[in-house]
A and B are shown apart, each in its own frame.
Chain A
Amino acid sequence: MRLYVDSTKCSGCNACRVACSLNLFGENNPKKSALVIEPHFPEPGLYTVKVCTQCGDCAKVCPTEAIKQDEKGAYYVDFAECNLCEACVPECPEGVMFVRAELSNSAWKCNLCGDCVSVCGTSALWIAEIETLTA
C-alpha cells in the first residue's frame, strides 16, 4: 500500500499536514509533516503535492537501520535509532524524507497512517495498493 495524490485536486489548505504532524509527533505543527505542498502562485496558479511512494530507498542507505517496515509494508522511522546523519534525505526521489535538527532529534517520513486522507476535503489523497508497471 502507499499514499497517492492528485495534485490538481489540492486546494493548498494544509489540513493534511497538521493531521500528519499530530500523528507523527503528537504536535500541531505542519512544519513537522511528511507531505509537501508547493503553491505556484500567482502564476500558473496551482499546487504540487509530494508524497511518499514507500519505495524504501531511504531504508536501504540508513546506516543505523532506523528506517523499518511495518506489517502493512510501510517504511517508518524508529525515532530512537536515528542519528540525524541525513544519508536518507538525498536518496528520496520525491523529496519527502525530512531531517530538520531544529525541529526534531530524529528524521521523519510518512508512516502510511492515513490521517491526511481522512481530513482531505477535496479527495486529493488516497491510499491504495502499489501499482507495478508491467511490460
Chain B
Amino acid sequence: MNGYAGRILRVNLTTATITKEPTPPDLARDFIGGRGFGIYFLLKEVPKGADPLGPENKLIISSGPISGMMIPGGGKCDWTTKAPLTGGYASASMGGHFTAEMRYAGLDSIILEGISPKPVTLFIDNDRVELRDASDLWGKTTFVVEKQFKEKLGEEYQIATIGPGGENLVSYACINHDYGRQAGRGGVGAVMGSKKVKAIVIHGTKSIPVADMEAYRKAGMALFKACKEAEGLKDWTRYGTTIVVSWCDEVGALPTRNFSAGSFEGGKNLYGPVMREKIVITDKGCFGCPSPCGKYSRSKKYNSYVEGPEYETIGLIGSNLGIDDIEAVAQANRLCDDLGIDTISAGNAIGWAMECYQKGIFTKKDTDGLDLKFGNVEATFALIEKIARREGLGALLSEGIKRASQKVGKGSEKFAIHVKGMEQSGYATHNATAMLLAYMTCDVGAHHNRSWAITYDLQVGRELVVPEKVARIIWLQNFRPMFDVLGGCRLQWVELNIDRELYVPALEAITGIHRSWQDLEKVGERIWNLTRLFWLRENEDFGRQWDMPSPRFYEEAPKTGATKGQITKIEDVNRLLDMYYEQRGWTSDGLPTTETIENLGLKALTH
C-alpha cells in the first residue's frame, strides 16, 4: 500500500505471542495514521471500563504516512492509550527518530497488549521480533538504558524506554527516546511499565513505497525550500521554543508560582537568549527537521547534559516554582528525563505542593522535612526523585494533582491547576479566553498542542468572548492534530508560517489519494468526536463539568505582573462552553448528538 510500511505488529505480553497483520486499507483511507489509528484501535479493542494499568488496556504506537519521508518534520510518533492520569483518552506525541525507524522496519503501528510476567525488551530488527529478558535493566534510568543499547547495537538502532517513574506506575510517567525526546503526557510511561516493557529497540533497512516518486520528490523539495526561505527560520532555530519565554512573561502568560500570576520577577534569567548564551551547545533535530527546536545543553554548575529545557519545562519547573536559575531548571529537566516523568505534570505537582506549604496546609511533617518554599531548588530536585520513586510526599504527588488535592482537601482543590485530571501546560490563562477554552476542551486534558491560541488572544482581544473566537479554537482542534495523524510535526506551519497547501501534493504523491485540507480537517473532526465519545464511554458522569478549568482563572486575579487584577468571569467561561458545544454539534452538556455522530459517519464505530 503506497505511503505505508504495510504491517501492524501486535505483541501480547501475557502469552508472549507476536503477530503481524496487514495495515487495513480502509483504516488507512479513513483514519490515515498516527493518532487516527490510535483512537480507532483504542475504541475498538480496549473494553469499556478497562483498568488503565491492567492487562486489558493497550498501548498503541503509530507512525503516519509522512513519517520517515523526505517531508519536513516527518519524525512524530503517536502513543495512544487509556490514560492512568485521567481515566480518559491519552495520545502523546514523541519526536526523534523512532517513528521513521518503525517504518523502515516495515511497521505502521505497534500494539502492546496484556502484561508480561517479567520485565522485557521488545527487540525489532526488520522482520525479526523478539521479547528479551530485561530484568537487568529494570530500575535503571533512561539515559543509562539508551546508552547501553546504543553501545551494544550501534547508532542505527532507535530506543524508547521508561525510567523508574514508569516502572513505579507514576500516573504521569513518560517514555523517553533519543536522550531527550518524550511521549510525555497522560501517563503513557506508566502503561508501558504496567506491561513490564522496559524498552523497545528498533532497527529497519526497508524502503517505504510511494505512489508517484517524481511528484513526491518535487513536493518534498518544495516544502524544504519554503522552510529554508522562511523569515523566522534563523531565530527559531537559534532559540527553539524558548523564543516565547520573554513574550509570555511580558504579556502575563508565563506560569508563575503555581499559576497565581503570569509574569515572573526573575523571568529575565530564563529567557531564550540567556539560555542560549549560558548552556546550549548543539541544535538537536527530530527526523527530517529543517528547523530544529531541540537545544542540547550542558550545565557546568551541575556537570550535566540535557536536551532542553524547552519552553514548557522552563515555565513549569522554572517560573511556576519560583526558580530563576536556568541551570537549575536544566538539572531538574535532566532528573525528570532520567527518571522518566513528565516535566509539565511534575512542575504542576510540585507547584501545588509548594502552595500547600505556603498556605500551611502542609508542614514539614507532610513534606518529609523539605522546606518547600517557592524557589527552593534543592527541595525541587529531592521531590522529583521522590515522585519517581513514590516515596513520602512523592507518593501522593505521583497520583496527579486532581487525586492528590481531593485526598488533601482543605481548599487545595481550588489551586490544583488541571482540566480532566491533566495538569495544565505552560500558559497562564487568567485573561486569555481562547487559550482557556483550548485547555478546557482539549481531548487529553489541559494541554496546548491541539490548539495553541495564546498569540491569537493577544491579536484579537484577550478578554473577547465571541463565536468567531470559539470557531477559531474548533478549527485549530480539527486541523493542528492532523499533523499527529500524518506522523509529522506542526511547527513548520506554526513557527515558519509555511503554506500548508504545500503538504497536499506531497501527501497525494505518497499515498496516491488526493486530500484537500478541507478533507483532512473532516478527518480531524471525526477523530475529535471519537475521542470525546471515548471519555464518555469510560466515565459515567462525563459532561460539562469535566470541561471546567481551575477556579484560579475565574476567581483569583493575579496580584502582580502584566495580568494584575485581570480575570475571566465565570459567566464568560460558561458562554465559551455554550458556544463551543453548539458549534461542535454537541448537547448543552457537551456530548456529541446522535445527529452529529451520524453526520460524521461514526455510527458504526460507536457501537
Contacts and interface: CB of A to CB of B under 8 A. Distances in A.
Interface of A: 8-9, 11-15, 18-19, 21-22, 25-32, 38-39, 41-47, 102-103, 115, 118-122
B101 to A, nearest CB: 10
A119 B205 contact: no
A121 B225 contact: no
Given A118-B225, A122-B292, 17 more contacts: A11-B282, A13-B285, A15-B224, A15-B288, A18-B68, A25-B207, A28-B68, A28-B210, A31-B156, A41-B179, A45-B281, A46-B281, A118-B221, A118-B224, A120-B290, A121-B228, A122-B283
B289 A121 contact: yes
Interface string B65-109: 000111010010000000000000000000001001000100000
19 contacts: A8-B282, A11-B282, A11-B292, A13-B290, A13-B292, A15-B224, A22-B70, A22-B213, A28-B70, A28-B207, A28-B208, A31-B156, A45-B282, A119-B70, A120-B290, A121-B224, A121-B237, A121-B285, A122-B290
Interface in B279-328: 281-292, 294, 296, 298, 305
Given A13-B289, A19-B70, A102-B205, A122 B156 contact: no
A85 B379 CA distance: 62
Contacts, number: 109
A29 to B, nearest CB: 4
Interface in B235-275: 237
Contacts of B72: 15, 121
Contacts of A41: 178-179, 296, 305
B465 interface: no
A14 to B, nearest CB: 6
B46 interface: no
Contacts of A122: 237, 283, 285, 290, 292
Nearest to B237: A122
Contacts of B178: 41
B217 interface: yes
Contacts of B179: 41-42
B442 to A, nearest CB: 28
Given A28-B210, A45-B298, A39 B155 contact: yes
Interface of B: 68-70, 72, 75, 97, 100, 104, 143, 147, 155-156, 178-179, 205-208, 210, 213, 217, 220-221, 224-225, 227-228, 233, 237, 281-292, 294, 296, 298, 305
Nearest to A124: B283
B257 to A, nearest CB: 32
A14 B287 contact: yes
A60 B155 CA distance: 31
Contact of A121 (B143, B147, B206, B233): B233
Nearest to A9: B283
Contacts of B155: 38-39
A29 B206 contact: yes
A11 B205 contact: no
B305 A42 contact: yes
A42 B287 CA distance: 18
Nearest to A38: B155
Contacts of A46: 281-282
Given A29-B104, A47-B282, A121 B290 contact: yes
Given A28-B210, A31-B156, A42-B179, A18 B70 contact: yes
Contact of A31 (B143, B205, B281): B205
B210 to A, nearest CB: 7
Contacts of A21: 207
Contact of B224 (A11, A14, A25, A119): A119
